[in-house]
Amino acid sequence: MKPLEHQKAALRAVGRIEGLSAEIELLKDRLAAVPLWRPAAGLARQCDEALKMIRGIRMRLERNLVVTVIGPSGSGKSTLVNALAGGDDVSPAGRQRPTTGRLIVLGAGGEDAAELAHDLGGDSVEIKAVPARSFPPGLCLIDTPDTDSTAFPEHIPALERVIAQSDVLVCVFDAENPKRRDHADFLAPFVRRFDGESLLAVLNKCDRLDADELRSRILPDFREYIRSAWKGAVDQALCLSARRHVREPDWDPSAPPRHDVDQFEELRDRVFGPAGRGRLVIDRRVENARQLHAVVLGEAGRELAADRETLTAARQTLGRVLMDAMTAAAAAVRDQGSVSGGSLGAAVYQRLCMRWIGPVGWMLAVWTRLVAIGSSIAAMLRLGRSSDGSFSSRRSNRSASAGAIAAALRRYRLAMVGGWPEVAEQLVRGRFDATVRNLDTAATSAARFEEQLASLWDRAIDQEVDAMARRLGGVWLQSLINTPVLGILGYIGWVTVQTFFSADYLSGDYFLHAFWVIAIALLLSFFALQAIVRMTASPERIMKRAFDRLQKEVADLDGLAGHPLQTQLEAVLHLAAAASGGQASA
């Protein structure tokens, strides 16, 4: 690849890798926000580990291709490494177990091999130079300790490091004992990190088996077994005889190869082919990073899908319990609480006097002021005076409805405490922490609900009083009530003006009688208005209408709004929905 093209490919790869890292970081942050959901902690740690591996891929983006060969004792792993390296003794092979006790890095030497050895832990790594004529440049081939030797537990940390540094993983199985469950199980957590092209399953020593049986039964069974054990991570399994490709096979005269079935050249091409082509190495590393990303998101998706149905049911049950509790509380307001009739009447008259004009409006203003003075005196004695000395309907209503709110809160608490065990058990089945069983959550909900209900009830009362004042302050009603008084005033005024200009002055008795007529008409009109107000805007009617309004709005109340439990439940369900949507689109 030309240098410029290589740089462009590397730049594009950096962008893709950073994008994958950003998505995992976002998932990690969202998992950190739901600590009550127990799987979140483990998934967040997986995110950390995947980010560490992806950053490692990013750092070695332009280094040599790293191919690791791993297998149990007796599988011919070291023989395969020697065959690939073009020698017989590059990596120790023989009957002594383990034949490989350290990580052996094979390559042309140089800075990349030294950096790789340092990253893998210098004390446990041996670097061996391989002649360039038999080994392509740009490649590091690693032979690993046997996965089933007595010293294997000591080698696990080194194996985990080398797998994390690898671009291609070649997993060797013995064709004479291909279904090694211990070997497959050990590799299962690691193989999921590799893209299909970067993972090779090799069935070695195939020349020791009957060709027909190998083709018809052993190889198909092995492929099915390995796909099942690794959940489809590997694309295919290669069948080969590594011993055939070393310089001195040293066959036992009594047991020569039984056939020529061998895919060694295909393996060699898949291992060595990308090494001299920088873009393929970069692409392979990007695909491995994408595979790590897919593993993390897939694991999170499976965990979320496992609990989605249970947590959805828990959310529905919680909604039902909250609604029952709110309905019971609203009923308590209707049954137990009432705003005092005087307070509501004063509130209605206060708003009416701001709308009415004319003689009856003046009378209404005087009456309202008298009522306000009395209410203010009572307020000073009970609750204290407002800063401007005016009547405060909200304060008076809140004081008068304190008993109703207390009764509503008691019913709300009882409903929440009664329904909470069912909600808590569903949450625990959805793997929420067992602390959700604590009834403090219901208590917290009740305290918050008290504030919400009191505010909503006061608002319902105020809105209903305003509605009543608007209906009673209509132009048609004002005209009807004011007409008698205005008619008498008009007639008296017309007579007075007419006699004034004719110099026929009226007596004082006339004006005294006129005053009483006007007063009587005004009182009768005001009485009629009071009767209408009493019939249409009585405290009982306002209470009933306010309760109807409260019932319509009570669904908006939520004592758990903003509570960590509900916030985290909604966050987990949102993640589950997003994961389900992502899998469907994939």
* 76-134 tens-digit pLDDT: 888 888 888 876 566 665 544 445 567 888 876 666 677 777 777 767 788 887 776 66
Provide the terminal-to-terminal Cα distance of the chain, rounded to the nearest Å: 32
Q: What is d(CA 462, CA 339) in angstroms, rounded to the nearest whole number?
A: 11
| Residue 39: per-residue pLDDT | 95
Which pLDDT belongs to residue 151?
Answer: 66
pLDDT at site 387: 42
What residue ranges in 292-434 does DSSP mark as E strands?
Answer: none
pLDDT reported for residue 396: 46
Domain ranges, ordered by start, for the chain: 65-101+139-274, 307-585
Contacts of 505 (CB under 8 A, 6+ apart): 499
Q: What is the pTM of this model?
A: 0.65
Burial class (CB within 10 angstroms; exposed 0-12, middle 13-18, buried 19+) of 70: buried
Q: Going edge to edge, which strands form the sheet with 125-129?
A: 125-129, 103-107, 139-143, 65-70, 168-174, 199-204, 237-239
* C-beta of residue 264 within 8 angstroms of C-beta of residue 244: yes
SS3 439: coil
Show contacts of 359-362: CB within 8 Å, 24+ apart.
Answer: 359/482, 359/485, 359/486, 359/489, 359/522, 359/525, 360/478, 360/481, 360/482, 360/485, 360/522, 360/525, 360/526, 360/529, 361/478, 361/482
| Single-letter amino acid code for the residue at 137 | P
User: What are the C-alpha distances in Å from 99 to residues 69, 144, 166?
Assistant: 14, 10, 22
pLDDT at 97 (0 to 100): 44
Q: How many whole angstroms separate alpha carbon 430 and alpha carbon 318?
A: 14
Beta carbons within 8 Å of 304's beta carbon, 6+ residues apart? 572, 575, 576, 579, 580
Predicted local distance difference test score (pLDDT) of residue 251: 76
Cα separation of 20 and 286, whole Å? 10
Q: What is the CATH number of domain 65-101+139-274?
A: 3.40.50.300
pLDDT confidence of residue 306:
94
CB-based contacts of 201, cutoff 8 Å, min separation 6: 171, 173, 223, 226, 234, 236, 237, 238
- Model pLDDT, residue 92: 60
pLDDT at 394: 45
Residue spans of the chain under pLDDT 70: 1-4, 6, 87-101, 108-112, 122, 132-134, 149-152, 274-279, 333-344, 375-376, 378-404, 442-450, 551, 554-563, 581-586
Alpha-carbon gap, residue 156 to 127, rounded angstroms: 19
